[in-house]
Structure formats: structure tokens, C-alpha cells
Homo-oligomer: A and B are copies of this chain.
Amino acid sequence: MSTPRRRTRQREAVAALLQERTDFRTAQQIHADLREAGAGVGLTTVYRTLAVMAEAGEVDMLLGEDGEARYRACSAGHHHHLVCRSCGFTVEVTAAPVERWARRMAEQHGFTDVAHTVEVVGLCPACSRRGALPTGPA
């Protein structure tokens, strides 16, 4: 059923860029990064490639507070993120207590086929130190 995936220059480029980045980036940013790096990839292709990779579980996708999708290559397996709202610095964390809580909550209310999202945003050590602001005034 699933279409065979072809190995192309564009997909390699996106994957490679994602490898060296440790923060969550939007499709638009990735598109700009690639252009800047010389390896131009169409915006449409960036979107499609990210969708395919997300589908395959090769990247994690999360929606920012502004509704924009952000992507990042992550380790396999279920985990959550601690994200700096100023610089995008990300730490992967596991959350056993949360998993248990979610499962129990679902059972308690008769919900089935549950999934959960947990994101913790704040200021990373570096940004806290320099008194960074979410969307700094002037």
C-alpha cells in the first residue's frame, strides 16, 4: 500500500539539516536555511518532505503557540520536550508520571484510543540569565 520512498537530493538535504540542528524549526525556516546553504529546495518540497518524515516517525512535529508547525529530528521512542521560548533550545525528557496519570485519567472517564501531548516551555538557563523576553518589546 505505502508508496516506495525514493532517495533524492532534496530529501537528503532536509534530513541532513535536521541532523545538525538541535532546535525546533518551522518549514519556512528550514526552507531558508537550505537556500542559504546553497542546496536550494522548493518550499513545497520542504513541506512534503517534512510531512513524510513526520509520518514515518523520523521527526517530531509540534505546534507553536502561534499555530505554526515546528520540526526536529528526535531520538526514537515516546518522549516529550522542554523548549526555550526565546531561543528554541530543546531538551528531550521522559515522563513516566505523566504517562501513568494520562492512562489512569482515560480509564477513569471511559475514554479509549487516547493520546496525549505534553509540552513544557520556559526560558533556558542561558536566556534566563540575559533576561530574554518571549517577544521582546523593542
Contacts and interface: CB of A to CB of B under 8 A. Distances in A.
Interface of A: 63, 65, 67-69, 82, 84, 91, 93, 95, 97-98, 100-102, 105-106, 109-125, 128
Contact of A84 (B93, B111, B125): B111
Contacts of A117: 117-119, 121
20 contacts: A63-B67, A67-B68, A67-B69, A84-B111, A93-B105, A93-B109, A97-B97, A98-B98, A98-B118, A102-B120, A109-B124, A109-B125, A111-B124, A111-B125, A112-B123, A114-B121, A115-B120, A116-B119, A117-B118, A118-B118
Residue of A84, A112, A118, A123 with most partner-chain B CB within 10 A? A118
- The complex is assembled from copies of this chain, and their number is 2
